[in-house]
């Protein structure tokens, strides 16, 4: 009888260990990120996916959803691209584009400085300037809500940008979301992307296939930018740890950025806002 009891206890203990191993297995990480934790070249978008898959419902509220992982879209609004000048922020007579912002008091001094670094990433080499809001009607309201996301372009009045703490407070992530607020979509959404990359549809989670749609956006006469901070990583939304995007020209091309805007990202800003191609970066 004692042997039977001992065997029963041992069996229960082994089952518990097996269950714990199962629950904490790396394969149960966030969709599209599980293999990237092992990589040293994780992109800003990889970090966003990790934060949003755990923290954000795809429906933010009754009228707003997330598209492509981090673009907030309200019912009835155009969601993907700035087809009209009306989605761009106004340009001042001095040639700069001033983006007014308010910052949640819930951010610490260190977190505030990190957000400012993300803004400086965009300001350096471009005509964009982020300024604390005083009286401006149109402005971005940066809050530590759930996940990392932004609306696309200027919407009129107050518009939220979510930078959850600490998950979204990496400089590259901050710059990525502010680029959305300026009106830029993900680089692989370009209408000509199939010339440059192959989308590995079988490797993508079925309910994330829409994140890889392409749209007829304005390329601004600039080349496809593998290095853009707006580019998905090679394993974004992978269901099996296999690549979801493969460059056509070379297997060694790195996709996306972790911390900085690429040179072409800055050219895009200046061309979109007709500020000239500066070279002071």
Q: Domain spans of the chain?
A: 42-75+84-272
pLDDT of residue 81: 55
Catalytic residue (choose from 53, 68, 123, 177) = 177
Per-residue pLDDT band for 15 (boundaries 50, 70, 90) equals: very low
Structure confidence at residue 46 (pLDDT): 95
CATH topology of domain 42-75+84-272: Collagenase (Catalytic Domain) (3.40.390)
Supply the pLDDT for residue 111. Answer: 98
What confidence score (pLDDT) does residue 86 get?
63
pLDDT at 276: 74
Mean pLDDT of 34-62: 71
State yes or no: pLDDT of 176 exceeds 80. Answer: yes
Tokens 């901070």 sit at which residue? 229
Given a contact cutoff of 8 angstroms between Cβ atoms, the answer to whether 237 and 70 are in contact is no
How far apart, in whole angstroms, are the C-alpha atoms of residue 163 and residue 144? 5
pLDDT score for 252: 83
Give the mean model confidence (pLDDT) for residues 153-179.
96
Instruction: Give dist(CA 266, CA 32) in Å, integer.
Output: 27
Given this model, what pLDDT does residue 105 score? Answer: 97
Instruction: Identify the H or E element spanning 139.
Output: strand 139-143
Element holding 198 (H helix, E strand): strand 197-199
Q: Break the chain down into helix, strand, coil percent, rounded to 5.
A: 35, 15, 50
Query: Over 50: is that where the pLDDT of 14 sits?
Result: no
Percent of the chain with pLDDT over 70: 77
At 40, give phi and psi (nearest 5°): -90, -10
Q: Choose the weakest-confidence range: 36-45, 79-88, 208-217.
A: 79-88
- Spatial separation of the C-alpha atoms in residues 73 and 11, rounded to whole Å: 51
Share of the chain above pLDDT 90, in %: 68
Mean pLDDT, residues 97-117: 98
For 117, half-sphere exposure in the C-beta direction (CA atoms, 13 angstrom radius) is: 13
Token code pair at residue 65:
């959803």
DSSP string, 59-103: BSSSSEEEETTTEEEETTS--S---SGGGSPPPPTTS-EEEEEEE
Q: Is 263 within any annotated ligand binding site?
A: no
pLDDT at 93: 93
CB 114 within 8 A of CB 174: yes
> What are the helix and strand counts (H, E) for the chain?
5, 9
pLDDT of residue 251: 77
C-alpha dihedral over 184, 188, 193, 198, to 10 degrees?
Answer: 180
Nearest to 167 by CA among 221, 216, 111, 222: 111
The predicted model gives 138-156 an average pLDDT of 95
Mean pLDDT of 174-199: 96
Peptide bond into 140 cis (omega under 30): no
**Higher-scoring residue by pLDDT: 64, 264:** 264
Contacts by 107-110, CB closer than 8 A, 24 or more apart: 107/144, 107/165
The pLDDT mean for the chain works out to 83
Burial class (CB in 10 A: 0-12, 13-18, 19+), 277: exposed
**Residue 135, annotated as binding a ligand:** no
Residue 186 marked ligand-binding: yes
What's the pLDDT at 4?
44
Q: Is 177 known to be catalytic?
A: yes
206-220: b (≥16 Cβ within 10 Å) or e: eebeebbebeebeee
Report pLDDT for 7. Answer: 42
């Amino acid at each position: 009888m004692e042997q039977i009891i001992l065997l029963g206890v041992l069996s229960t203990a082994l089952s518990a260990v097996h269950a714990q191993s199962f629950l904490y297995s790396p394969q149960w990480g966030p969709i599209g990120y599980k293999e990237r934790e092992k990589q040293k070249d994780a992109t800003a978008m990889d970090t966003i996916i990790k934060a949003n898959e755990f923290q954000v419902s795809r429906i933010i509220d009754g009228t707003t959803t997330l598209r492509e992982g981090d673009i907030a879209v309200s019912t009835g609004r155009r969601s993907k691209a700035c087809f009209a000048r009306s989605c761009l922020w106004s340009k001042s007579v001095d040639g700069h584009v001033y983006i007014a912002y308010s910052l949640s008091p819930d951010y610490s001094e260190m977190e505030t400085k990190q957000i400012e670094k993300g803004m400086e990433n965009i300001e350096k080499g471009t005509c964009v300037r982020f300024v604390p809001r005083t009286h401006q009607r149109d402005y971005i309201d940066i809050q530590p809500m759930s996940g990392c996301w932004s609306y696309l372009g200027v919407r009129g009045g107050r518009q939220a940008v979510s930078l959850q703490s600490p998950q979204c407070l990496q400089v590259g992530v901050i710059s990525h979301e502010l680029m959305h607020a300026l009106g830029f979509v993900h680089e692989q959404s370009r209408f000509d992307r199939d010339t440059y990359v192959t989308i590995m549809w079988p490797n993508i989670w079925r309910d994330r296939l829409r994140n890889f749609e392409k749209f007829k956006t304005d390329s601004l006469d600039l080349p496809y930018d593998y290095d853009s901070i707006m580019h998905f990583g090679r394993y974004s939304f992978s269901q099996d740890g296999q690549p979801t995007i493969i460059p056509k020209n070379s297997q060694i091309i790195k996709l996306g950025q972790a911390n900085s805007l690429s040179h072409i990202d800055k050219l895009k800003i200046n061309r979109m806002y007709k500020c000239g191609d500066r070279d002071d970066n």
